[in-house]
Amino acid sequence: MQPRIPPVFGRGIFFSNDSVNAFPPSPSRRDGHDLALRILVAASGGYALCWGLFVFLCAWLPYEKVTVWYLTGQLAPLPFVLVLLAAFAAGSAGRVAAWSFGLAGLLAGLGSLE
């Protein structure tokens, strides 16, 4: 009789009594393409969202352009990190691309209204 390994955090996340091999299967060629797509979405979506935020803030904040440039330079890492985390946490890279480019377009469109 095998000793029973207690489940970690109540669900058996790290160890399972049913599986002998604790290592995941080797990555396939498709996983490599998915990784490249997620990296591309993280970089381009973060860049687009950063510029959309810049256009929006330049149009709607009542400051000089130099002040807004400084502010967006300080805020620039936030959209990048948000999209980077979302690109690897979401179920599909296409979903992250859709909302990041959509939000960037919406912000740029609202910024161009003024």
Q: Which residue has the higher pLDDT, 69 or 42?
A: 42
Range of weakest confidence among 7-21, 41-55, 96-110: 7-21
Contact in structure between 93 and 34 (CB atoms under 8 Å): yes
Residue ranges of domains in the chain: 40-114
- Local confidence band at 113 (pLDDT 50, 70, 90 cut-offs): confident
The pLDDT value given to residue 91? 86
What's the length of the chain?
Answer: 114
pLDDT at 72: 84
Span 64-86, mean pLDDT?
89
Contacts of 48 (CB under 8 A, 6+ apart): 100, 101, 104
DSSP label of 23:
S
Whole-model pTM? 0.68
